[in-house]
């Protein structure tokens, strides 16, 4: 399975809103496998199809300590949000940048599994944050957009400097 290239902020393709997956076929299953391998190798705990320049509503997540609880969510949507928590977030599309973001403490997400069966998942803590973060990607949003304009400008400048140094 090939590793997929991950788009880097502020790439404009990260702003594209993903379209629903119409049919869960072998192509979607292969994409999910490739995304999971890419996520584990990066290493990260979540990856949205948008981040690999595929603009369909598909995410993979594994927020477990042992890295053995892979979740694959097709067409995920948050149906309830409760409470507030502030957690430090990072992102494979914004390497080396971490900051505190306010999110719902508990969420319930409805999605399809890879067999096209409707599922729901209730999540709190890190898994809740990860679900919200990855679903944001499907809506064309990156976590830094939850930060102040000044912080966003600093992040853009830092990433531009990193790109010049590695070029």
Whether 134 sits among the annotated catalytic residues: the reply is yes
DSSP one-letter code for 70: -
The whole-angstrom separation of Cα 99 and Cα 86 is 10
The whole-angstrom separation of Cα 40 and Cα 36 is 6
63 Cβ neighbours under 8 A, 6+ residues apart: 45, 46, 69, 126, 127, 130
DSSP annotation string for 69-115: --EEEEEEEEEEEES-EEEEEEETTEEEEEEEEEE-SEEEEEEE-TT
Q: What's the residue count for the chain?
A: 167
Q: Token match 């890190």: residue?
A: 126
Of these residues, 37, 65, 89, 134, which one is catalytic? 134
Integer distance in angstroms from the first to the last C-alpha of the chain?
28
Q: Token match 């990193």: residue?
A: 162
Select from 82, 81, 133 the least CA-distant residue to 109. Answer: 81
The catalytic residues are: 134
């Amino acid at each position: 399975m090939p590793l997929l290239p991950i788009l880097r902020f502020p790439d404009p393709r990260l702003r594209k809103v993903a379209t629903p997956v119409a049919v869960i076929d072998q192509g979607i299953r292969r994409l999910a496998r490739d995304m999971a391998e890419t996520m584990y190798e990066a290493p990260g705990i979540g990856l949205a199809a948008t981040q690999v320049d595929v603009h369909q509503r598909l995410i993979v997540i594994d927020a477990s300590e042992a890295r053995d609880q892979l979740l694959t969510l097709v067409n995920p949507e948050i149906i309830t949000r409760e409470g507030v928590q502030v957690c430090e977030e990072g992102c494979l599309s914004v390497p080396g940048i971490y900051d505190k973001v306010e999110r719902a403490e508990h969420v319930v997400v409805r999605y399809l599994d890879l067999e096209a069966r409707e599922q729901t998942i209730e999540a709190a803590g890190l898994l809740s944050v990860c679900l919200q973060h990855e679903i944001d990607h499907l809506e064309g949003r990156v976590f830094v957009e939850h930060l102040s304009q000044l912080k966003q400008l600093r992040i853009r400048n830092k990433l531009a400097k990193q790109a010049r140094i590695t070029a």
